[in-house]
Structure formats: structure tokens, C-alpha cells
Amino acid sequence: MLYSFLLLVVGVYALVLLACAWAWFHLPSLHNNPPAPKAFFSVIIPVKDESANILNLLQDLERQMYPKSSFEVLVIDDHSSDKTPDLVEEFQRSSSLNLRLLFLASFPENRLKKGAITLGISLAKDDWIACTDGDCRVKENWLESTNQCRYEQNAKLVSGPVTLSTDASWFQKLQALEFAALIGVGGACIGLQKPTMCNGANIAYEKAVFLAVNGFEGNADIPSGDDEFLMHKVHQKYPGQVAFLKDRQAIVSTNALASFSGFIEQRKRWASKWKHYTSLMPQALALLVLGVNVALWLAIGLALSGIISWTSLAAMVLLKLLPDALLLIQVLGFFQKRKLILLIGLLQIMYVPYVLVTAILGWRGTYAWKDRQHVAS
């Protein structure tokens, strides 16, 4: 009886992943015909202690093919203790970008990343907001592709692809594989008109829409979720007008985490926002991912105790892995990282305890982010 229930949970998960694989395959590509009218973009970059990365991003923005008269860059410094502001000011003196540096400390009513973004939006010119992070790299057609997508898909919010840059470390490659799965499921759910996940390193939306949904009101005190909570609100007010930008020219890259402790802290932060979702689909997906991993954990226990055969356990694992692989092969192909699929077995072995631990710690524990301690509420 228990095994049948666990198999049912895994079967439901498999059907959802098959639907995601189908939806990813059918996500629209850009046609670029006719060319979209040029919207004005305010690129908002909240930063804290990004002296090692910020110049790379600013140089990427200076190389944008999008007309410089059609976008501005607002860097909002969130109490950096390094030379980040100095580097931005030095770059500003010799750059052709329309670049402004703002200090969150000068606006005490705004706090943390959401406060920095809200401040940037309040001072941005009209039309569109494009957000990325200070440790990211963007391609030269990033804004061009985003503009074309919002035009072709009549979007109010555009979620863009993000990938992790990796070195030879197997740990970072596993991160990149898991992250590709998250981006793939997020993009596929948008394709199914059931938005669940997106990433604040690559997101754009109309300024008027941000104001119409009252921005981060209702979740401003939750440190994470500047991306997903907003997307859910936009989808609720403007159903069918959230788009995923499936274009390699729009890929934003950021570094995988070097340490295991940093990785766990990040995932605890991500997990801490699940219970604050008010939309049904993101809640259901989070519970399904947790449920399928609990099911596999229990099935391993049943096999070890001799209640079920190892063949039955293998069948359950394959029922989960095959739909995972079907989606991941497509997503990794898009990111031109298909060789990472070879690590799917190792990732699954680590994923069961990892999901359980981060879910528990993210529910009521504490986590560190940007040298600040937060309590999951």
C-alpha cells in the first residue's frame, strides 16, 4: 500500500515533468520581423560588495547593440564595504553610458535588495525596467532580445534565461545542472501559462506594471523573492502576459558558488520563500518536488528493510529520472552544456537529502546573505 502511494507521487511528478519538457520544446523563438520599436530601458543593478565583478558587467552594458539613447543604467549600492562605489564612479567618468550611482544609505526608508530595486524604479525614466545582478555577465544583444520579446509576445513581464559559469570543479558542474533544471521548469511553466519560477538576474517588466501591482508590497520584508513574487502578481493582474525569452543572445551568466556552505545558505534562502507563495501553482510545484524526494527516501528505506525489491526501487528511480532527462537534454542543449547530463545520476543521489535538509532549514532556520543574518519567518 505504501509503495503504491509513493509510486503514485513519483508518477504525478513524471507527468508534470513530461508536460514541462513538451512546453519547453514549444516555447516561441524570436522572429525579429518586423523589428520591435525601441522601448526605453532602465537597467537596475543592486550591488553589495561586488568590486570583483561590477566592471565586467558595466563593460558588457557599454557593448550593448541597443542604442545608448534608449537605455540608462542605475547602480544602487547597498552599503558596500569594499571599493564597489569607487569603481563605478571611476568607470562613470570615462564611459559613454547614461550611468547613475545611487546609495541606499541615503534613503533609509528602503531596505535590502527589494528596497534598492524600488528606489531605482522610483528614479527611473518611463517605459521598461530591466534587472540584473552585479556579479552577472550579459551578451551584447541582451537588451535587443528583451525588447523584441516584449513586443512579439505582448508581454508585461519578460523572464530571461540564466546560466552558471563553471570551472573544472564537479561541485560547480552539479550546481549548473541543477540550476538549468530550475530555469527549464520555470520557462516551461511560463509557456504553460502557469508561472512558478524566474530569476532576478534576468527579468524585465513595464514600470507602470510594477506600480500597478504595488511592487513588492506584501513581501517587502522577505529578503528573497524580488523576482518570483512580482511575477506571480503580474500574472494574476495580467494573465497571459508573462513571457519567457528563449533566445541564446539573452542568456545572462553568473558564477557558480565556490563553497558548499555558501551553496547551502543560498538554497536555504530560496527555500524560505516557498511558504509565502500565494499562487496555487508555485505552492503545488514546491510541494511536489519535496514530495517526490521524500518518496524516494522512503522507498530506499523500504528496499533496505526488504519490504520492496531493489527492482521496484530502480523502477521508481527511473520513473523520475527519465522525464528529468528529457527536459534537461533540451535545456542543456539551449545553454550549450549538454555534457552535464552525464552527472544526472550523481545529482539525484545528492538531491534527496539536500532537498529535505534545505526545506527544513529554509522553513524555520536562519541563513546568511551578503554578510547579513536572516531568520526564515
CB 139 within 8 A of CB 249: yes
Buried b (16+ CB within 10 A) or exposed e, 327-339: bbebbbebbebee
Give the pLDDT confidence of 241-254 residue by residue, as tens digits.
Answer: 999 999 999 999 99
Q: Where are the domains of the chain?
A: 2-22+279-369, 34-273
Which tens digit of pLDDT belongs to each residue from 311-322? 999 999 999 999
DSSP 8-state symbol, 367: E
For 213-217, the CB contacts below 8 A with 24+ separation are 213/237, 215/118, 215/121, 216/114, 216/117, 216/118
Q: What does the angle CA 189 – CA 195 – CA 198 come to, to the nearest 5 degrees?
A: 95
Structure confidence at residue 374 as a pLDDT band (50, 70, 90): very low
For the whole model, what pTM was predicted? 0.92
Cell numbers 494574476 correspond to 236
Rounded Cα gap, residues 262 and 268, in angstroms: 10
Q: Which CATH superfamily, name and number, covers 34-273?
A: Spore Coat Polysaccharide Biosynthesis Protein SpsA; Chain A (3.90.550.10)
Q: pLDDT tens digits, residue range 204-241?
A: 999 999 999 999 887 766 766 778 999 999 999 999 99
Which is it for strands 41-47 and 128-131: parallel, antiparallel or unpaired? parallel
Q: Report the pLDDT averaged over residues 165-184.
A: 90
Total residue count of the chain as it appears in this document? 377
Report whether pLDDT(76) > 50: yes
Q: State the Cα–Cα distance between residues 146 and 148, nearest whole angstrom.
A: 5
Banded model confidence at residue 275, pLDDT cuts 50, 70, 90: low
Task: Evaluate if residue 33 carries a pLDDT over 90.
Answer: no
pLDDT at 68 over 70: yes
pLDDT for the residue numbered 365: 58
Provide, rounded to the nearest whole percent, the portion of the chain with pLDDT above 70: 92
Burial class (CB in 10 A: 0-12, 13-18, 19+), 51: middle
